[in-house]
Every structure is written in structure tokens, then in C-alpha cells.
Amino acid sequence: MILNQGDKLLVVNRRLYREDDPRFFTGVVQEFDEGVAKVTGYSFVRDMLRGSIERKTDKRTKLFSITSGTLLVYLMPADVDIESLHFVAAESTLHLADGGDFEMNLSEWTHR
């Protein structure tokens, strides 16, 4: 089995067009079977007024077909604090961090 109950994921909707806003979901795998993951966690969306990426306040359970080709799925370390995850944008970079030791660079370009 490729995913196990308790695995922590970052799921990113693949951008199909340059102007597509990024959409992110972070959560914990509840179940996994035949390429479909049941994950409980938080959606992140772009705040149109500030331009930042903000977490929605309500926790959700979503089903993801990780074989669909429309998602990028990242397995995060087991010690990541899902409740503390937030996005940090600086200059031309975007990072996902938990306020502790975890930080993941999600920039699409190394520099512009």
C-alpha cells in the first residue's frame, strides 16, 4: 500500500493555466484504497484582497484520487503539526511551514 492511515499529506490542485489560483489541502490520511485517499484537514485559498494564502477555519474530510493526474500529492514528515501549518510568501518564493522545524519550498521557479 502506498499510503497508510495517519500519513500527513499536502495535496495541490495542478494548475492548468498560468492565471489559475493555486489550491492546497493539508491533512491526515484516514483511509486509502485503490488510489483513493480519505483525508481530514484544511483547505487553503488565496485571499483576493491581501494576495496571501489563508487557511479556511473549518476542518473537512475530502476524497482524493491520487492517480487522477490533476493533483500533486506530497507526503510530509510524521512529526509535522497539521494544525499549525501556514504559508509564508517572501519575494518570489512560497513556503509551507508549521512554525517548528518543518518548511517546504513550493516555489514554481528558482528565481525570476
Cell numbers at residue 103, please?
518548511
Query: Distance between CA atoms of 73 and 50, rounded to whole angstroms?
Result: 27
Alpha-carbon distances, residue 104 vs 43, 63, 67 (angstroms): 17, 23, 23
Distance of CA 12 to the CA centre of its chain: 5
| Residue 80, CA atoms < 13 Å, CB-side half-sphere | 23
Which pTM was predicted? 0.87
Q: What is the pLDDT along the chain (112 residues), one digit of tens a residue?
A: 789 999 999 999 877 777 777 789 999 999 999 999 999 999 998 877 776 788 999 999 999 999 888 899 999 999 999 999 999 887 778 889 998 899 999 876 655 5
C-alpha pair distances (Å), 83 with each of 37, 38, 42, 63, 112: 20, 18, 9, 19, 32
